[in-house]
Amino acid sequence: MKHLLTIEQLSAAEINEVLTLSRTVKAGRGKPTKNLPLTGKTWGLIFTKASTRTRVSFEVGIRELGGWPLYLSSNDIQLGRGETVADTARVLSRYLHGVIIRTFAQQDVEEFAEYGTIPVINALTDDEHPCQILADLFTIEEKLGSLKGKRITFVGDGDCNVARSWIFAAAKMNMPLTIAAPHGYQPRPALLERAGGDIRVTDDINAAAKDADVLYTDVWVSMGKESESPDRLRVLAPYQLNASVASAAKPNVLIMHCLPAYRGKEISAELLDAKQQDIFDQAENRLHAQKAILMLLAR
């Protein structure tokens, strides 16, 4: 693995490599170690969008691996004033040992990887959120065992970055995935075709939840979509993940949310509070999985 730009570009073997190493990393956290693969290395974090989990878990993870994180808000660097991504990549490659980018256009992350000479990690774009989904796969394996055949149902904005990364991950890991979303918020047919696998799309949330091993949701208004907020809140209102939807799934269904959560919108407050142990374990696993990703890219 040279970069982590999308789940789409990863092989099942590469995904499994991340999951295996994540287990070791999690088990070893806090124990004395001489294995500090980022010693003497500085990784930049260029963020154009807000972040709690991704930013903090990467900064902590880089430090725990012996390196230094350098947070670069795009407002503070010349990129925000029109310097090109290609020139920024050429320059930062002379200083940094790797870069983690959260932004709007997937193209910008791809371009950084093309013109720079250091590993690039996509920390969320409008198209994909690969770090999230790798951590989620790790969480599912940890809680439910082997991924193969586990039935995932994603409820809500089926065309958002998290849903898209899920589509590619499910196809690669042989997990049947159902997306329950209203028309206008369903994944494009061309994307489903590209992904292959056993992916179904429906507007019937209760039918979609039936026999699910995992029920997953994400915010209804992703970063950058704020102007569409009134329409989204209205159209997506019937797609709330709550106890009634969960009752259609398997009895021990795993409830997952990438967070941040808006209680009473995409997930009911009651369900989130009842399942908070799992949901915050899921958030914690971002740290372990991202340390594994950093170790694989720093090799």
Supply the DSSP string of 222-244, one letter for each residue.
-TT-GGGHHHHHHHHGGG-B-HH
Report, in Å, the least distance between residue 124 CB and ligand CP: 6
Site for ligand NVA in 74-113 (CB under 6 A): none
Q: Which stretch binds ligand NVA (CB under 6 A): 25-33, 144-152, 160-168, 274-282?
A: 160-168
Q: Which of 3, 129, 257, 288 is catalytic?
A: 129
Report, in Å, the least distance between residue 252 CB and ligand NVA: 26
- Respond yes or no on whether the N-terminal peptide bond of residue 32 is cis (omega within 30° of 0): no
Identify the DSSP state of 4: B
Among 153, 161, 178, 240, binds ligand NVA (CB under 6 A): 161
Q: Which of 108, 126, 157, 218 is catalytic?
A: 218
Instruction: Say which residues have a Cβ less than 8 Å from residue 290's Cβ, sequence separation at least 6.
Output: 57, 58, 61, 131, 135
Report, in Å, the least distance between residue 162 CB and ligand NVA: 5
User: Could you tell me how far CA 46 lies from the centroid of its own chain?
Assistant: 17
Indicate which of ligand NVA, ligand CP, none lies near residue 202 (CB less than 5 to 8 Å, by partner kind): none
Cβ burial of 143 (10 Å; 0-12, 13-18, 19+) is middle
CA dist., res. 215 & res. 178, Å (int): 10
Among 222, 240, 242, 282, binds ligand NVA (CB under 6 A): 222
CA dist., res. 137 & res. 289, Å (int): 10
CB-based closest residue to ligand CP:
54
286 assigned to active site: yes
Among 38, 180, 258, 272, binds ligand NVA (CB under 6 A): 258
Return the active site residues.
Answer: 102, 129, 132, 218, 258, 286
